[in-house]
Amino acid sequence: MTTRPALDVSHLPLHGLGTASLSWWGTLAFMLIEGSGFALGIAVYLYLASVAQHWPTDAPPPDLLPGTVLTAILIASVIPNIIVSRWARQKSLARVRVGMVVMSVAGLLPLVARVFEFPATHVRWDTNAYGSIVWVLLGLHTTHIITDVVDTLVLTALMFSRHADNARRYGDVQDNAMYWNFVVITWLPLYLCLYWVPRL
């Protein structure tokens, strides 16, 4: 007995880019879940600020310089990030390699600024509720930066290997770029909460 296929899909590519990729949808779902976590963290911060007699509690407002420098680095990194995503869509291997090296450096720079950011809060994580939520929000965002930097470094290494000129790798680069944009966007409301709400 012979079977007849209902639909011949043998001509389709093995991997798609953008919305044609399952990993793109997985990354989007991941970002929605993590975005909810950031929203909950901000809600807790604002709730604590609303019930406290003085905010910040037993501490001066955080120094603006480290957080503002980090914000500037993150915003500036969006430009090469968008460019490398476009190069990945064009499947330009030489350009993607350069772009991934640039994005590896752009991912490490905010971590350097973050090292100075924690002491600039003038409060320890175990001092009070204010210190706890500030350190939780900074720690949560730091985890996201580290996650993307590790992914970027691995992808950079892959783009310089024999696995580079593969449609799937270009899709991975685009997904990585989308996630970095998420890391940048989620920092902006956190920056406003942590640095400007205490100054209102």
Q: What is d(CA 92, CA 84) in angstroms, rounded to the nearest whole number?
A: 9
| Structure confidence by residue, pLDDT tens digits, 97-143 | 999 999 999 999 999 999 999 999 999 999 999 999 999 999 999 99
CATH 1.10.150.120 for domain 21-51+62-199, yes or no, is: no
Cis peptide before 56 (omega within 30 of 0): yes
Distance from C-alpha of 73 to C-alpha of 103, rounded to nearest angstrom: 12
Is the pLDDT at 150 greater than 80? The verdict is yes
How far is residue 78's CA from residue 89's CA, in Å, rounded to a whole number?
17
Q: Could you tell me which residues come within 8 angstroms of residue 137 by beta carbon, excluding any fewer than 6 positions away?
A: 41, 42, 45, 190, 193, 194
d(CA 200, CA 190): 15
Average pLDDT over residues 19-38: 87
Total residue length of the chain: 200
Domain boundaries, the chain: 21-51+62-199
Residue 24: band (very low, low, confident or very high) from pLDDT cuts 50, 70, 90: confident
Q: What percentage of the chain reaches a pLDDT higher than 90?
A: 74
Tens-place pLDDT, residues 71-86 = 999 999 999 999 999 9
Instruction: Tell me what pLDDT residue 17 has.
Output: 67
Mean pLDDT of the chain: 91
pLDDT above 80: residue 1: no
Residue 8 has pLDDT above 90, yes or no: no
Q: What is the DSSP letter of 125?
A: T
